[in-house]
Structure 1
Amino acid sequence: MKAVGIVMLMFGTVMADLAGECDMVGFYQELGCTALPNVDNSTTCPEAFSCPDLHPDPAVCYFKGARYSDRSLIPQSLINNPCSQACSCSVTSLGPQFDCAAVDCVEVFDTDIQQQCTYTYELDSCCSTGTVCGKDAIAKLQTCEVDGKAYKEGESFEPKNTRKTCVCTAQWNGSIDDPSYCRDINCGIEIHFQNKIWQNCAPVFAGNRRSCPIAFNCPSSKTKIIRGLNLRTVNAQCQFGNATLAVGDEVTVEEQCTKCTCDVPPFVSCTKKNSCDDQ
C-alpha cells in the first residue's frame, strides 16, 4: 500500500508539471480525471483522459465526488480558491449549479490609487491586502526576476508554462515549487460551471487550453458536427451533449473566432482567438 501511495504521489506530481505545458491537463486534473496511455509514445502530453461520472444525479450538485443537496454549502476548507466564497448548491429548471458570494476587489475600481501606489498581495488572497504608495517607498521594494520581467515585492504573477500563481517576496529564491511563494491555480470548474458539465458542454479557453476556461459552449439547434480525420488514431471519444465525436471532429458554434474540436477526449474543447486573423 505504501508503494502504491508513492507511485500515485509521483504521478500527481508529474501531472501537475505537465499542466503548464500540455493542453487540457490542468482542466482534467481539477476534475479528478486520469490520463489514458498514449497511442503515440513520442509525445509526453496525454492524448485522452478517463473521467469519473461527474454528475450521476441531476437533482443534486457535485463537488469532488461529494453530493450537495439544494441550498447546502460547500465547506470553505474544501475550496482551494480564495475568490470562491460561500458557495451553495442551487437546483433549478436549468439544472444544478453553485452560487457563490460576489468578491469585489478594490483595485479593479479605484484607478486613482493605481496611478500613485502599487497593490500588494498574499498567496492565499483573492484581492490585494495592502498598498505601497509614493515613489521612494516603491523604489525600496525588493524585486523578483521571472521570465525576463521584474515584479515588485508583493506583486502577484503567473510564471510561463506553469499552472501556478506566485507572489514576489523579499525572500524569493526563484523556486516555483516552494509553497511559501507559489500555489497551484484552481479554476473552480465544478463550482462555476456545474450545470455546463452536467450538459456535456465544451469548455472555452482564451489563447491556449492550459489556462482556466472562460466559458462553456453548449449544444443548440444551430450546432453542427463536421467529421474530420483522426490522424493520431486515438480510440477515445468526446461527448458533446448527446452527440459522440471522434478525435479530429469539429463542432460549429455561433461565437466568432472560436474553434471547437474533439482533440483531448472526453470533452470537446474550444479556443477563442483575440482576432479571427490569429492562427
Structure 2
Amino acid sequence: MSQLKLTTYSKMKHFGVILFIASTLLVNDAFGNTNCDFLGLHFYKTIGCKVSGNENGCPSYNGCQYSQPIGHCTYQGQKINNGQDVKDVVKDSSCNFGCICTATAREKGKFRCAPGNCGEVDPVLKKNPKCFLKHSLDKCCPKLKCGDGVPATCKVGNEIFKEGQIFRPKNKCLTCICTKDFDGKLNGPNCQSTPCDIEVKEPENIEKNCAPLYVTSSTSEALCCPSTFVCPSSIDIIKQNTTSTSKVCKYGLKTLTLGSTIETENNSYGQRKVHCKCIAPPLMTCTMSFN
C-alpha cells in the first residue's frame, strides 16, 4: 500500500471539499520507493517532454514547451507525417480510431479522428465459461478467444483479474494485461506506461499553456492522464505564492511561482469547482473531485 507523506501542509476547505495542500509532496510505496505518479509528471512524458533534472527523486521537466511542428505532427514525441495514421507509428492500447495527421508546408500539424468503437461481442460466446475477451497492449479492441480449459486469473494486491483482462494497478500510471504467465511483477512484459490520448484531442490547449485537469475520487490518487484542460478565464481566483523561488508554472500568458494556486470552475462534467496548484512545472496541475 502506498504511503503518503506530507510536510508542512495546511488544511483548506474549498467549496465544501476538504483539500490537503502540501508544500512538499513525497509518496512512497511499500518498499520505500518514491511514487512520482502523484505529481502529474506522467503527462509530460507522454507528450514528449525531455527530463531536465531531478527533484526529490522524481524527474523534472522545467522549460518544456510543447508545440506541434509545421509540416507534420508529433504524438508522444514521435513524428507523424501528413496523411499518416497515429497507430502506424505508436502502438498502444489507446482508443483513437483513424486519427490522421493533417499538415501543410506552412501550417502546424493537426489531428483528425474518425468516430468508432470496438463493436459488439456475440452474447452467446461471451457467456461461455471457456471464452474470454483478450486485450493486448498494442491495440484498443479485444478479441474473443475460446479454448478447452478455464481461463487463468491474476492476483494483484487484493484484486483478482481474469485472463485477457486489462487492469491498471492502483496509484500507478501503468496499463497491464492478465496472462497465464503473469508473475505479479509490474515492470515486465505484461505492463506498459499508460498511454494518454489527450494530445490528439486538444493539442492547441497544451500549446496555449492551459493546465491539465485530472478527475479524481480522493486527495491521494495518482495523476496519470488528464481528462481535459483548464484555460485562463475571467472567473479564475489566483493566489500567487510570494516566496522567492526560481521554479515557475506557465498558465496561458501568466507565470506563477511554485506553490501558487488557482480556484476556478469547469463545465466538462457539469459545473464543478476546480483547484489548481503549481506543484510540477512547467504547467499548473488541476484536479476536480466527484466526491
TM-score by length of 2: 0.69
Q: Which amino acid aligns with 1:54?
A: Y
1:158 corresponding residue in structure 2? 168
Deviation, structure 1 residue 236? 1.4
Q: For 1:195 and 1:22, how far apart are their aligned partners in 2?
A: 25
2:202 corresponding residue in structure 1? 193
**SS at structure 1 position matched to 2:98:** strand
Deviation, structure 1 residue 206? 1.8
Contact 1:239–1:267 at 8 Å: present in 2 too? yes
**SS at structure 2 position matched to 1:263:** coil
Q: Which amino acid aligns with 2:235?
A: K
Q: For 1:78 and 1:18, how far apart are their aligned partners in 2?
A: 32
Q: Which has the higher strand share?
A: 2
Q: Which amino acid aligns with 1:119?
A: L
2:144 corresponding residue in structure 1? 130
Deviation, structure 1 residue 90? 4.8
**SS at structure 1 position matched to 2:44:** helix
Q: Which runs of 5+ in 1 are unaligned?
A: 1-16
1:88 corresponding residue in structure 2? 100
Q: Which moved more, 1:56-65 or 1:258-267?
A: 56-65
Q: For 1:84 and 1:61, how far apart are their aligned partners in 2?
A: 15
User: CA deviation digits over 1:156-194, x for unaligned, max 9?
Assistant: 111223322111111222222221x22221213432321
- The total of aligned residue pairs comes to 242
Contact 2:238–2:263 at 8 Å: present in 1 too? yes
User: CA deviation digits over 1:195-233, x for unaligned, max 9?
Assistant: 111111110112245321111111123334222355xx6
**SS at structure 2 position matched to 1:183:** strand
Contact 2:250–2:283 at 8 Å: present in 1 too? yes
Q: Does 1:248 find its partner at 2:259?
A: yes
Contact 1:90–1:97 at 8 Å: present in 2 too? yes
Deviation, structure 1 residue 126? 0.8
Q: Which amino acid aligns with 1:166?
A: C
The structure-2 alpha-carbon separation of the partners of 1:144 and 1:79, relative to structure 1 and needing over 3 Å to count, comes to same
2:289 corresponding residue in structure 1? 273
**SS at structure 1 position matched to 2:88:** helix
Contact 2:133–2:165 at 8 Å: present in 1 too? yes
Deviation, structure 1 residue 34? 1.3
1:98 corresponding residue in structure 2? 111
Q: For 1:76 and 1:248, how far apart are their aligned partners in 2?
A: 38
TM-score by length of 1: 0.72
Matches within 5 A, 1:230-245: 230=243, 234-245=245-256
Contact 1:87–1:100 at 8 Å: present in 2 too? yes
Q: Which moved more, 1:265-274 or 1:74-83?
A: 74-83
User: CA deviation digits over 1:85-110, x for unaligned, max 9?
Assistant: 4322357xxx8641223341236xx7
2:213 corresponding residue in structure 1? 204
The structure-2 alpha-carbon separation of the partners of 1:72 and 1:222, relative to structure 1 and needing over 3 Å to count, comes to farther
Q: Percent identity?
A: 26
Q: Does 1:219 find its partner at 2:232?
A: yes
Contact 2:64–2:282 at 8 Å: present in 1 too? no
Q: Which amino acid aligns with 1:210?
A: L
**SS at structure 1 position matched to 2:185:** coil
Q: For 2:116 and 2:43, how far apart are their aligned partners in 1?
A: 23
Q: For 1:32 and 1:74, how far apart are their aligned partners in 2?
A: 22
Choose the corresponding residue for 2:241, options 220, 224, 228. 228
Q: For 1:145 and 1:177, how far apart are their aligned partners in 2?
A: 15
Q: Which amino acid aligns with 2:241?
A: G
Aligned residues: CA RMSD:
3.4
Q: Which has the higher helix share?
A: 1
Matches within 5 A, 1:138-149: 140-149=150-159
**SS at structure 1 position matched to 2:183:** coil
Q: Which runs of 5+ in 2 are unaligned?
A: 1-32, 267-271
The structure-2 alpha-carbon separation of the partners of 1:80 and 1:251, relative to structure 1 and needing over 3 Å to count, comes to farther
Contact 1:20–1:163 at 8 Å: present in 2 too? no
Q: For 1:254 and 1:37, how far apart are their aligned partners in 2?
A: 32
Q: For 2:35 and 2:99, how far apart are their aligned partners in 1?
A: 26
2:53 corresponding residue in structure 1? 36
